């Protein structure tokens, strides 16, 4: 996870120097001004490279300020070259609901009910097991105006797949199963399992015509036997929501099934509107 710029050690001296420069510029000599500018520039470049080159491994977020987008492993501009997203750069109070669906354990119906009540479009990223065991729910998602995206067939660590053939097979096999089950072509929206990825993965997905979606807001909701409380969920999901957020929830979560109606109501009261990923892509 990329951290904010640190202010300890040598960097602390730089920031102290900057404050002194601002308060009493007459005390600062030209040589020291040059030294300060050089060190500050090097520090900022180091931080920039950390953000840009952390484009391999696990997707990570660092929240800096409530109500504002987090700092992510890679910048929006960097991801854009691969048709990849983690949020929308906007001041408008819009958010994008997404659900990762690894298997069905009785919670999806309640989630769909809440989405229908609020006229909120969502994208469900499903795996092969989900389509095989819950085809009627997949069909319901489509019938109620939601998007079904590709979460791979077997949910492997895709960052370890170096060959184009193995990568394409994971996505292609799910496409085939989806079409056989629903009679429709699968939307080419992809989410890497567990957020594990590599730059070559992003390029492979793009070459297949896919758009890749990470997220800017999630919480630990995937442990079936260790579900968060309502208060824990609201603390994260209300406190960290921000304009343009792509929200990741899991359809296996009993907490999500229980709170989603109230959660959507609270977000609406905060002024947020729910949009589809189609609308996000059309604005980029």
Place of tokens 């030209």: 30
Contact 75, 226 (CB under 8 A): no
**92 catalytic, yes or no?**
no
d(CA 22, CA 135): 65
Contact 273, 238 (CB under 8 A): no
Contact 205, 227 (CB under 8 A): no
Residues with Cβ within 8 Å of residue 226, at least 6 apart in sequence: none
Marked catalytic residue, from 16, 27, 100, 151: 100
**151 catalytic, yes or no?**
no
Burial, 148: exposed, middle or buried (Cβ in 10 Å; 0-12, 13-18, 19+)? buried
For 150, list phi and psi in degrees, rounded to 5: -100, 120
d(CA 155, CA 145): 25
Marked catalytic residue, from 151, 155, 242, 250: 250
- Strands 122-126 and 71-72 turn out to be unpaired
Residues with a known catalytic role: 100, 250
């Amino acid at each position: 996870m990329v951290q904010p710029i640190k202010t300890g050690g040598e960097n602390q001296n730089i920031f102290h120097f900057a404050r002194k420069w601002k308060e009493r510029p007459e005390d600062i000599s030209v040589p020291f001004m040059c030294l300060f500018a050089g060190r500050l520039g090097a520090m900022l470049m180091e931080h920039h490279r950390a953000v840009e080159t952390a484009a391999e491994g696990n997707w990570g977020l660092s929240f800096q300020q409530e109500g504002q987008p987090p700092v992510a492993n890679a910048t929006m501009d960097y991801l854009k070259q691969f048709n990849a997203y983690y949020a929308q750069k906007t001041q408008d109070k819009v958010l994008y609901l997404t659900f990762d669906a690894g298997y069905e354990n009785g919670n999806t119906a309640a989630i769909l009910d809440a989405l229908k009540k609020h006229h909120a479009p969502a994208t469900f990223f499903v795996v092969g097991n989900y389509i095989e065991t819950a085809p009627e729910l997949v069909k319901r998602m489509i019938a109620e105006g939601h998007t079904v995206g590709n979460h791979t067939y077997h949910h492997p660590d895709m960052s370890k797949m170096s060959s184009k053939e193995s990568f394409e097979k994971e996505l292609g096999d799910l496409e085939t199963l989806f079409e056989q089950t629903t009679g429709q072509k699968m939307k080419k929206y992809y989410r890497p399992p567990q957020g594990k990825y590599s730059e070559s993965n992003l390029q492979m997905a793009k070459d297949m015509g896919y758009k890749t979606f990470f997220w800017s807001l999630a919480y630990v909701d995937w442990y079936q036997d260790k579900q968060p409380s309502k208060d824990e969920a609201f603390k994260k999901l209300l406190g960290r929501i921000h304009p343009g957020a792509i929200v990741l929830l899991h359809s296996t979560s009993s907490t999500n099934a229980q709170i989603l109606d109230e959660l959507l109501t609270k977000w609406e009261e905060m002024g947020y509107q729910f949009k589809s990923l189609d609308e996000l892509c059309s604005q980029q």
